[in-house]
Chains A and B, each alone.
Chain A
Protein backbone atom coordinates (compact mmCIF):
# COMPACT_ATOMS: atom_id res chain seq x y z
CA UNK A 1 0.00 0.00 0.00
CA UNK A 2 1.43 3.34 -1.00
CA UNK A 3 1.27 6.33 1.39
CA UNK A 4 -1.07 7.97 -1.10
CA UNK A 5 -3.54 5.06 -0.94
CA UNK A 6 -3.40 5.06 2.87
CA UNK A 7 -4.00 8.84 3.01
CA UNK A 8 -7.05 8.51 0.70
CA UNK A 9 -8.35 5.49 2.63
CA UNK A 10 -8.02 7.25 5.99
CA UNK A 11 -9.69 10.36 4.57
CA UNK A 12 -12.64 8.38 3.15
CA UNK A 13 -12.95 6.20 6.25
CA UNK A 14 -13.00 9.24 8.54
CA UNK A 15 -15.50 10.93 6.25
CA UNK A 16 -17.72 7.86 6.39
CA UNK A 17 -17.53 7.79 10.19
CA UNK A 18 -18.39 11.49 10.38
CA UNK A 19 -21.36 11.07 8.03
CA UNK A 20 -22.69 7.95 9.79
CA UNK A 21 -22.36 9.56 13.24
CA UNK A 22 -21.78 6.08 14.65
CA UNK A 23 -18.98 7.53 16.74
CA UNK A 24 -18.31 11.12 17.77
CA UNK A 25 -16.87 13.14 14.89
CA UNK A 26 -14.04 14.42 17.09
CA UNK A 27 -13.03 10.83 17.92
CA UNK A 28 -13.24 9.86 14.23
CA UNK A 29 -10.97 12.76 13.24
CA UNK A 30 -8.55 12.09 16.10
CA UNK A 31 -8.31 8.42 15.18
CA UNK A 32 -7.70 9.24 11.48
CA UNK A 33 -5.01 11.77 12.40
CA UNK A 34 -3.38 9.28 14.78
CA UNK A 35 -3.17 6.67 12.02
CA UNK A 36 -1.62 9.24 9.66
CA UNK A 37 0.98 10.24 12.26
CA UNK A 38 1.63 6.66 13.36
CA UNK A 39 2.39 5.64 9.78
CA UNK A 40 4.51 8.79 9.38
CA UNK A 41 2.57 9.83 6.28
CA UNK A 42 2.76 13.33 7.73
CA UNK A 43 6.15 13.61 9.46
CA UNK A 44 6.02 15.02 12.98
CA UNK A 45 8.05 18.10 12.00
CA UNK A 46 5.46 18.99 9.32
CA UNK A 47 2.54 19.19 11.75
CA UNK A 48 2.78 23.00 12.18
CA UNK A 49 2.46 23.31 8.39
CA UNK A 50 -0.93 21.62 8.35
CA UNK A 51 -2.35 22.35 11.79
CA UNK A 52 -4.00 25.71 11.19
CA UNK A 53 -3.47 27.47 14.52
CA UNK A 54 -5.12 30.62 13.23
CA UNK A 55 -8.42 28.75 12.86
CA UNK A 56 -8.05 26.86 16.13
CA UNK A 57 -7.14 29.92 18.22
CA UNK A 58 -9.78 32.08 16.57
CA UNK A 59 -12.44 29.51 17.44
CA UNK A 60 -11.06 29.11 20.95
CA UNK A 61 -10.92 32.87 21.59
CA UNK A 62 -14.49 33.39 20.40
CA UNK A 63 -15.69 30.44 22.52
CA UNK A 64 -14.16 32.05 25.63
CA UNK A 65 -15.77 35.41 24.86
CA UNK A 66 -19.19 33.86 24.18
CA UNK A 67 -19.14 31.62 27.24
CA UNK A 68 -18.14 34.49 29.52
CA UNK A 69 -20.78 36.81 28.03
CA UNK A 70 -23.40 34.06 28.31
CA UNK A 71 -23.05 34.03 32.10
CA UNK A 72 -24.44 37.57 32.18
CA UNK A 73 -27.75 36.63 30.53
CA UNK A 74 -26.97 38.86 27.53
CA UNK A 75 -28.43 36.51 24.92
CA UNK A 76 -31.63 35.80 26.85
CA UNK A 77 -32.01 39.59 27.21
CA UNK A 78 -31.72 39.99 23.43
CA UNK A 79 -34.23 37.17 22.85
CA UNK A 80 -36.86 38.67 25.19
CA UNK A 81 -36.31 42.19 23.83
CA UNK A 82 -36.77 40.88 20.27
CA UNK A 83 -39.93 39.01 21.28
CA UNK A 84 -41.37 42.17 22.84
CA UNK A 85 -40.50 44.30 19.81
CA UNK A 86 -42.59 41.95 17.66
CA UNK A 87 -45.76 43.28 19.41
CA UNK A 88 -47.56 39.96 19.05
CA UNK A 89 -47.44 39.95 15.25
CA UNK A 90 -46.31 36.59 13.78
CA UNK A 91 -44.84 38.28 10.72
CA UNK A 92 -42.82 40.62 12.92
CA UNK A 93 -41.65 37.64 14.98
CA UNK A 94 -40.52 35.96 11.77
CA UNK A 95 -38.79 39.08 10.49
CA UNK A 96 -37.15 40.24 13.72
CA UNK A 97 -35.94 36.83 14.87
CA UNK A 98 -34.51 36.12 11.41
CA UNK A 99 -32.63 39.43 11.37
CA UNK A 100 -31.40 39.07 14.97
CA UNK A 101 -30.32 35.47 14.32
CA UNK A 102 -28.45 36.49 11.17
CA UNK A 103 -26.71 39.42 12.87
CA UNK A 104 -25.65 37.39 15.93
CA UNK A 105 -24.58 34.46 13.71
CA UNK A 106 -22.38 36.79 11.70
CA UNK A 107 -20.33 37.49 14.82
CA UNK A 108 -20.80 34.42 17.00
CA UNK A 109 -20.99 30.75 16.10
CA UNK A 110 -24.26 29.52 14.64
CA UNK A 111 -24.78 26.71 17.13
CA UNK A 112 -24.60 29.02 20.16
CA UNK A 113 -26.90 31.50 18.45
CA UNK A 114 -29.65 28.98 17.69
CA UNK A 115 -29.25 27.22 21.04
CA UNK A 116 -29.99 30.50 22.76
CA UNK A 117 -32.76 31.79 20.51
CA UNK A 118 -34.74 28.60 19.80
CA UNK A 119 -36.28 28.23 23.30
CA UNK A 120 -37.62 31.79 23.00
CA UNK A 121 -39.02 31.14 19.50
CA UNK A 122 -40.78 27.99 20.69
CA UNK A 123 -42.18 29.92 23.64
CA UNK A 124 -43.59 32.70 21.43
CA UNK A 125 -45.11 30.24 18.95
CA UNK A 126 -46.83 28.44 21.81
CA UNK A 127 -48.08 31.79 23.04
CA UNK A 128 -49.42 32.63 19.57
CA UNK A 129 -50.84 29.09 19.28
CA UNK A 130 -49.15 28.81 15.88
CA UNK A 131 -46.97 26.10 14.41
CA UNK A 132 -43.34 26.95 15.25
CA UNK A 133 -42.09 25.32 12.03
CA UNK A 134 -41.93 28.45 9.81
CA UNK A 135 -40.18 30.39 12.59
CA UNK A 136 -37.69 27.58 13.25
CA UNK A 137 -36.94 27.08 9.55
CA UNK A 138 -36.42 30.80 9.12
CA UNK A 139 -34.09 30.82 12.13
CA UNK A 140 -32.02 27.98 10.65
CA UNK A 141 -31.70 29.63 7.24
CA UNK A 142 -30.98 33.04 8.79
CA UNK A 143 -28.27 31.54 10.96
CA UNK A 144 -26.49 29.89 8.02
CA UNK A 145 -26.89 33.00 5.87
CA UNK A 146 -25.70 35.32 8.65
CA UNK A 147 -22.65 33.13 9.18
CA UNK A 148 -21.74 33.55 5.52
CA UNK A 149 -21.40 37.32 5.88
CA UNK A 150 -18.19 37.56 7.91
CA UNK A 151 -14.81 35.97 8.46
CA UNK A 152 -15.82 34.83 11.95
CA UNK A 153 -19.43 33.84 11.18
CA UNK A 154 -18.92 30.23 10.17
CA UNK A 155 -16.00 27.78 10.58
CA UNK A 156 -15.51 27.37 6.78
CA UNK A 157 -15.02 31.14 6.53
CA UNK A 158 -12.47 31.07 9.35
CA UNK A 159 -10.59 28.29 7.54
CA UNK A 160 -10.79 30.05 4.17
CA UNK A 161 -9.76 33.39 5.66
CA UNK A 162 -6.80 31.80 7.38
CA UNK A 163 -5.63 29.81 4.34
CA UNK A 164 -6.07 32.59 1.79
CA UNK A 165 -5.06 35.44 4.13
CA UNK A 166 -8.35 37.22 3.62
CA UNK A 167 -9.29 40.02 6.00
CA UNK A 168 -12.50 40.57 7.95
CA UNK A 169 -13.32 43.59 5.78
CA UNK A 170 -12.74 41.66 2.54
CA UNK A 171 -15.25 39.07 3.75
CA UNK A 172 -17.73 41.74 4.72
CA UNK A 173 -17.42 43.52 1.38
CA UNK A 174 -17.65 40.34 -0.71
CA UNK A 175 -20.04 38.19 1.30
CA UNK A 176 -21.98 40.80 3.33
CA UNK A 177 -24.16 42.11 0.47
CA UNK A 178 -24.86 38.56 -0.74
CA UNK A 179 -25.92 37.53 2.77
CA UNK A 180 -28.16 40.60 3.15
CA UNK A 181 -29.97 39.97 -0.16
CA UNK A 182 -30.23 36.24 0.54
CA UNK A 183 -31.71 36.91 3.96
CA UNK A 184 -34.40 39.18 2.52
CA UNK A 185 -35.25 36.64 -0.18
CA UNK A 186 -35.37 33.78 2.35
CA UNK A 187 -37.74 35.61 4.70
CA UNK A 188 -39.96 36.42 1.70
CA UNK A 189 -40.02 32.77 0.59
CA UNK A 190 -40.89 31.57 4.11
CA UNK A 191 -43.58 34.23 4.35
CA UNK A 192 -45.11 33.21 1.01
CA UNK A 193 -44.87 29.51 1.80
CA UNK A 194 -46.42 29.78 5.26
CA UNK A 195 -48.59 32.88 4.89
CA UNK A 196 -51.71 31.13 6.16
CA UNK A 197 -49.91 29.80 9.21
CA UNK A 198 -48.79 33.26 10.31
CA UNK A 199 -52.09 34.75 11.40
CA UNK A 200 -53.57 35.48 14.83
CA UNK A 201 -56.87 37.12 15.77
CA UNK A 202 -56.74 40.72 17.13
CA UNK A 203 -57.97 39.42 20.51
CA UNK A 204 -55.20 36.84 20.65
CA UNK A 205 -52.69 39.50 19.62
CA UNK A 206 -53.66 41.66 22.63
CA UNK A 207 -53.28 38.64 24.91
CA UNK A 208 -49.84 37.88 23.46
CA UNK A 209 -48.72 41.48 23.96
CA UNK A 210 -49.90 41.35 27.56
CA UNK A 211 -48.15 38.09 28.31
CA UNK A 212 -44.94 39.31 26.70
CA UNK A 213 -45.24 42.57 28.59
CA UNK A 214 -45.18 40.49 31.74
CA UNK A 215 -41.75 39.20 30.74
CA UNK A 216 -39.00 41.36 32.11
CA UNK A 217 -35.90 41.31 29.94
CA UNK A 218 -33.98 42.82 32.84
CA UNK A 219 -34.85 39.75 34.90
CA UNK A 220 -32.82 37.73 32.40
CA UNK A 221 -29.69 39.69 33.30
CA UNK A 222 -27.96 37.65 35.96
CA UNK A 223 -25.09 40.09 36.51
CA UNK A 224 -25.49 43.66 35.28
CA UNK A 225 -21.76 44.49 35.58
CA UNK A 226 -20.81 41.41 33.63
CA UNK A 227 -23.54 42.25 31.12
CA UNK A 228 -22.13 45.75 30.48
CA UNK A 229 -18.54 44.52 30.32
CA UNK A 230 -19.51 41.70 27.93
CA UNK A 231 -21.28 44.10 25.57
CA UNK A 232 -18.27 46.45 25.68
CA UNK A 233 -15.78 43.64 24.96
CA UNK A 234 -17.85 42.15 22.11
CA UNK A 235 -18.13 45.61 20.49
CA UNK A 236 -14.41 46.18 21.02
CA UNK A 237 -13.50 42.80 19.48
CA UNK A 238 -15.78 43.41 16.47
CA UNK A 239 -14.15 46.84 16.03
CA UNK A 240 -10.70 45.21 16.20
CA UNK A 241 -11.76 42.71 13.53
CA UNK A 242 -12.55 45.65 11.25
CA UNK A 243 -9.06 47.00 11.84
CA UNK A 244 -7.00 43.79 12.09
CA UNK A 245 -5.53 43.98 8.57
CA UNK A 246 -4.58 47.66 9.00
CA UNK A 247 -2.95 46.84 12.32
CA UNK A 248 -1.26 43.84 10.74
CA UNK A 249 -2.53 41.33 13.28
CA UNK A 250 -4.11 37.94 12.65
CA UNK A 251 -7.85 37.46 13.41
CA UNK A 252 -6.89 34.74 15.91
CA UNK A 253 -4.85 37.28 17.86
CA UNK A 254 -7.88 39.60 17.99
CA UNK A 255 -10.04 36.77 19.37
CA UNK A 256 -7.43 35.69 21.92
CA UNK A 257 -6.84 39.30 22.98
CA UNK A 258 -10.59 39.77 23.45
CA UNK A 259 -10.79 36.48 25.37
CA UNK A 260 -7.98 37.40 27.75
CA UNK A 261 -9.39 40.91 28.19
CA UNK A 262 -12.88 39.68 29.09
CA UNK A 263 -11.45 37.20 31.62
CA UNK A 264 -9.19 39.86 33.10
CA UNK A 265 -11.85 42.56 33.31
CA UNK A 266 -14.80 40.49 34.49
CA UNK A 267 -12.82 38.27 36.90
CA UNK A 268 -15.05 35.34 35.91
CA UNK A 269 -13.78 31.95 37.08
CA UNK A 270 -11.37 30.93 34.27
CA UNK A 271 -11.63 27.24 35.11
CA UNK A 272 -15.38 27.29 34.58
CA UNK A 273 -15.01 29.19 31.31
CA UNK A 274 -12.21 26.92 30.00
CA UNK A 275 -14.35 23.88 30.81
CA UNK A 276 -17.05 25.28 28.55
CA UNK A 277 -14.71 25.55 25.54
CA UNK A 278 -15.96 23.11 22.93
CA UNK A 279 -12.88 20.92 23.00
CA UNK A 280 -14.50 18.17 20.84
CA UNK A 281 -14.98 20.73 18.04
CA UNK A 282 -11.35 21.87 18.32
CA UNK A 283 -10.06 18.27 18.27
CA UNK A 284 -12.29 17.59 15.27
CA UNK A 285 -10.69 20.50 13.42
CA UNK A 286 -7.18 19.50 14.49
CA UNK A 287 -7.67 15.90 13.35
CA UNK A 288 -9.09 16.99 10.03
CA UNK A 289 -6.18 19.32 9.34
CA UNK A 290 -3.77 16.40 9.74
CA UNK A 291 -5.90 14.03 7.61
CA UNK A 292 -6.19 16.58 4.79
CA UNK A 293 -2.49 17.40 5.33
CA UNK A 294 -1.74 13.76 4.47
CA UNK A 295 -3.55 14.17 1.15
CA UNK A 296 -1.43 17.22 0.47
CA UNK A 297 1.80 15.61 1.65
CA UNK A 298 1.32 12.59 -0.63
CA UNK A 299 0.47 14.74 -3.66
CA UNK A 300 -3.15 13.54 -3.91
CA UNK A 301 -4.56 17.07 -3.77
CA UNK A 302 -2.14 18.20 -6.51
CA UNK A 303 -3.30 15.37 -8.76
CA UNK A 304 -6.98 16.18 -8.16
CA UNK A 305 -6.24 19.85 -8.87
CA UNK A 306 -4.52 18.92 -12.12
CA UNK A 307 -7.49 16.78 -13.10
CA UNK A 308 -9.91 19.61 -12.30
CA UNK A 309 -7.81 22.04 -14.34
CA UNK A 310 -7.89 19.78 -17.39
CA UNK A 311 -11.69 19.96 -17.30
CA UNK A 312 -12.19 23.51 -16.04
CA UNK A 313 -10.55 26.05 -18.31
CA UNK A 314 -11.76 29.47 -17.26
CA UNK A 315 -12.21 31.34 -14.03
CA UNK A 316 -15.97 31.54 -14.68
CA UNK A 317 -16.24 27.78 -15.07
CA UNK A 318 -14.19 27.24 -11.92
CA UNK A 319 -16.41 29.71 -10.04
CA UNK A 320 -19.55 27.79 -11.01
CA UNK A 321 -18.06 24.34 -10.39
CA UNK A 322 -16.66 25.19 -6.95
CA UNK A 323 -19.79 27.00 -5.81
CA UNK A 324 -22.28 24.33 -6.84
CA UNK A 325 -20.06 21.38 -5.97
CA UNK A 326 -19.43 22.72 -2.47
CA UNK A 327 -23.09 23.72 -2.05
CA UNK A 328 -24.52 20.30 -2.92
CA UNK A 329 -21.75 18.49 -1.02
CA UNK A 330 -22.31 20.67 2.08
CA UNK A 331 -25.99 19.85 1.94
CA UNK A 332 -25.13 16.17 2.37
CA UNK A 333 -21.91 16.09 4.37
CA UNK A 334 -20.30 18.30 7.01
CA UNK A 335 -18.96 21.48 5.44
CA UNK A 336 -15.86 21.55 7.66
CA UNK A 337 -14.07 18.48 6.18
CA UNK A 338 -15.28 19.58 2.76
CA UNK A 339 -13.73 23.03 3.20
CA UNK A 340 -10.58 21.48 4.65
CA UNK A 341 -10.21 19.37 1.48
CA UNK A 342 -11.16 22.14 -0.94
CA UNK A 343 -8.71 24.72 0.42
CA UNK A 344 -5.50 22.97 -0.73
CA UNK A 345 -7.21 22.14 -4.02
CA UNK A 346 -7.94 25.80 -4.72
CA UNK A 347 -4.42 26.73 -3.60
CA UNK A 348 -3.01 24.32 -6.21
CA UNK A 349 -5.28 25.77 -8.88
CA UNK A 350 -3.67 29.12 -8.10
CA UNK A 351 -0.70 28.09 -10.24
CA UNK A 352 -2.70 28.50 -13.44
CA UNK A 353 -5.50 30.98 -12.64
CA UNK A 354 -6.49 33.84 -10.34
CA UNK A 355 -8.17 31.98 -7.48
CA UNK A 356 -9.25 35.07 -5.50
CA UNK A 357 -12.94 34.78 -6.59
CA UNK A 358 -12.83 31.04 -5.96
CA UNK A 359 -12.39 31.58 -2.22
CA UNK A 360 -15.71 33.45 -2.19
CA UNK A 361 -17.26 30.70 -4.28
CA UNK A 362 -16.12 28.13 -1.71
CA UNK A 363 -17.39 30.24 1.19
CA UNK A 364 -20.74 30.71 -0.56
CA UNK A 365 -21.20 27.04 -1.35
CA UNK A 366 -19.90 25.66 1.94
CA UNK A 367 -21.94 28.01 4.14
CA UNK A 368 -25.20 28.23 2.19
CA UNK A 369 -25.13 24.60 1.08
CA UNK A 370 -25.93 23.72 4.67
CA UNK A 371 -29.45 25.05 4.14
CA UNK A 372 -30.20 22.30 1.62
CA UNK A 373 -30.94 19.40 3.95
CA UNK A 374 -31.79 18.82 7.59
CA UNK A 375 -28.30 17.46 8.26
CA UNK A 376 -26.45 20.01 6.11
CA UNK A 377 -25.28 22.24 8.96
CA UNK A 378 -24.89 22.10 12.73
CA UNK A 379 -27.52 24.82 13.23
CA UNK A 380 -30.10 22.69 11.37
CA UNK A 381 -29.41 19.67 13.57
CA UNK A 382 -29.56 21.73 16.77
CA UNK A 383 -32.86 23.45 15.93
CA UNK A 384 -34.51 20.23 14.68
CA UNK A 385 -33.15 18.38 17.72
CA UNK A 386 -34.59 20.98 20.12
CA UNK A 387 -37.90 20.97 18.21
CA UNK A 388 -38.11 17.17 18.52
CA UNK A 389 -37.53 17.39 22.26
CA UNK A 390 -40.47 19.80 22.41
CA UNK A 391 -42.68 17.45 20.33
CA UNK A 392 -42.42 19.50 17.14
CA UNK A 393 -41.56 17.17 14.27
CA UNK A 394 -39.67 18.47 11.24
CA UNK A 395 -39.04 15.48 8.98
CA UNK A 396 -36.17 15.16 6.52
CA UNK A 397 -38.58 15.58 3.58
CA UNK A 398 -40.37 18.55 5.21
CA UNK A 399 -37.04 20.31 5.52
CA UNK A 400 -35.81 19.26 2.09
CA UNK A 401 -38.85 20.74 0.32
CA UNK A 402 -38.12 24.24 1.63
CA UNK A 403 -34.40 23.94 2.29
CA UNK A 404 -33.40 22.83 -1.18
CA UNK A 405 -35.36 25.68 -2.81
CA UNK A 406 -33.83 28.21 -0.41
CA UNK A 407 -30.35 26.76 -1.00
CA UNK A 408 -30.62 26.84 -4.80
CA UNK A 409 -32.06 30.37 -4.88
CA UNK A 410 -29.63 31.87 -2.35
CA UNK A 411 -26.58 30.22 -3.91
CA UNK A 412 -27.76 31.30 -7.38
CA UNK A 413 -28.09 34.91 -6.16
CA UNK A 414 -24.63 34.73 -4.61
CA UNK A 415 -22.98 33.19 -7.62
CA UNK A 416 -24.70 35.76 -9.84
CA UNK A 417 -23.25 38.60 -7.78
CA UNK A 418 -19.77 37.01 -7.77
CA UNK A 419 -20.00 36.44 -11.52
CA UNK A 420 -20.90 40.09 -12.20
CA UNK A 421 -18.13 41.28 -9.88
CA UNK A 422 -15.28 39.01 -11.00
CA UNK A 423 -16.14 37.58 -14.41
CA UNK A 424 -18.22 40.38 -15.88
CA UNK A 425 -21.29 40.39 -18.10
Chain B
Protein backbone atom coordinates (compact mmCIF):
# COMPACT_ATOMS: atom_id res chain seq x y z
CA UNK B 1 0.00 0.00 0.00
CA UNK B 2 1.34 3.44 -0.90
CA UNK B 3 2.25 5.74 1.97
CA UNK B 4 -0.10 8.59 2.62
CA UNK B 5 1.17 11.94 1.42
CA UNK B 6 0.17 15.53 1.91
CA UNK B 7 -1.96 16.65 -1.01
CA UNK B 8 -0.54 20.10 -1.45
CA UNK B 9 -2.58 22.61 -3.35
CA UNK B 10 -0.96 25.44 -5.26
CA UNK B 11 -4.01 27.65 -5.88
CA UNK B 12 -3.88 29.83 -2.80
CA UNK B 13 -6.84 32.09 -3.60
CA UNK B 14 -9.14 29.12 -4.23
CA UNK B 15 -7.81 27.38 -1.14
CA UNK B 16 -8.58 30.42 1.02
CA UNK B 17 -12.08 30.54 -0.44
CA UNK B 18 -12.54 26.86 0.35
CA UNK B 19 -11.20 27.42 3.85
CA UNK B 20 -13.77 30.12 4.42
CA UNK B 21 -16.62 28.04 2.99
CA UNK B 22 -15.63 24.93 4.94
CA UNK B 23 -14.54 26.74 8.13
CA UNK B 24 -11.14 25.07 7.87
CA UNK B 25 -7.69 26.43 8.51
CA UNK B 26 -5.20 26.80 5.70
CA UNK B 27 -1.63 25.64 6.23
CA UNK B 28 0.43 27.92 4.03
CA UNK B 29 3.90 26.58 3.28
CA UNK B 30 6.40 28.88 1.59
CA UNK B 31 8.99 26.49 0.29
CA UNK B 32 12.15 26.17 -1.73
CA UNK B 33 12.09 22.37 -1.59
CA UNK B 34 11.93 20.41 -4.87
CA UNK B 35 8.33 20.10 -6.08
Real binding pair = no
Chain A interface (Cβ within 8 Å of chain B)? none
